[in-house]
Amino acid sequence: MEDTESFTLLPVHLDPKSKALSTTSNSKRLRDELESLNVLHTAFLSLETPAPLPPVPVNPKRTAQITKLRESANAAYRAANYTSAIQLYTLGLDMALKRPAWEPSGLVRDEVAGLLANRAQAHMALRGWPEGWKDAEASVEAKKVGNAKAWWRGGRCLAEMSRWEEAKEWVGRGLEVEGKEAELVGLLKEIEGRVVGTLNP
């Protein structure tokens, strides 16, 4: 397996006039790859109509729809309509996950992480600890850093299910990533107190 941290500079040259690629390397594989690229380049140049431009990087309508769904879900949550909030967060998630592959993956991760963290909170309001835990865990998988709410919600759900050791480990990992975030520090103290209590009944 290749070391992904290393970089090998290949002796590849671009002819400024023809834009053809060549190499001084003796590697047959490299020469074959460059020949394939040159053939493809020549084929594009010979097209009667130019190749279409790539699509717009981010569809603003989809972004606006996802934002509207999140805002509607937040409003439903504030009105204590937790079931509706969960449904609206789920619709927003479906829309975010169905973005075309050419759109930036960082945008998708941010949207998905936020929607999952919020849906976790709505599950928690309904005392749906397993569902809240799964959403918080998935939110952290999508975005580990800058996602303290998801770390806290995951820890709270584990604690509510009396999974004290897992909760302690989870919140500890969250503190490693997020630094000394006050809510996580408080939750860890609470969990550690319960762990000690279960060991010394």
pLDDT at 114: 97
Residue 97: what pLDDT? 95
Quick: pLDDT tens for 115-146. Answer: 999 999 999 999 999 999 999 999 999 999 99
Highest mean predicted confidence (pLDDT) among 16-30, 36-50, 158-172: 158-172
Q: Rounded distance, CA 19 to CA 133, Å?
A: 54
- Tokens representing 116 are 């999952």
Looking at the chain, the whole-number percentage of residues with pLDDT higher than 70 is 90
Q: How far is CA 137 from the centre of its chain?
A: 12
Report pLDDT digits (tens) over 171-194: 999 999 998 889 999 999 999 988
Stretch 41-56: mean pLDDT? 72
Check pLDDT > 80 for residue 48.
no
pLDDT at 1: 43
- Listed residue (193, 145, 150) closest to 168, CA to CA: 193
pLDDT at site 46: 76
pLDDT exceeds cutoff 80 at 21: yes
Q: How many residues does the chain have?
A: 201
- What integer best gives the mean pLDDT of the chain? 89
pLDDT confidence bin for 5, thresholds 50/70/90? low
Give the start-end residues of each E strand in the chain: 12-14, 21-23
Which contiguous run of DSSP H or E holds residue 168?
helix 164-178
Q: What stretch of H or E contains 201?
A: none
DSSP for 29-71?
HHHHHHHHHHHHHHHHHT-SSPPPPPPPSS-HHHHHHHHHHHH
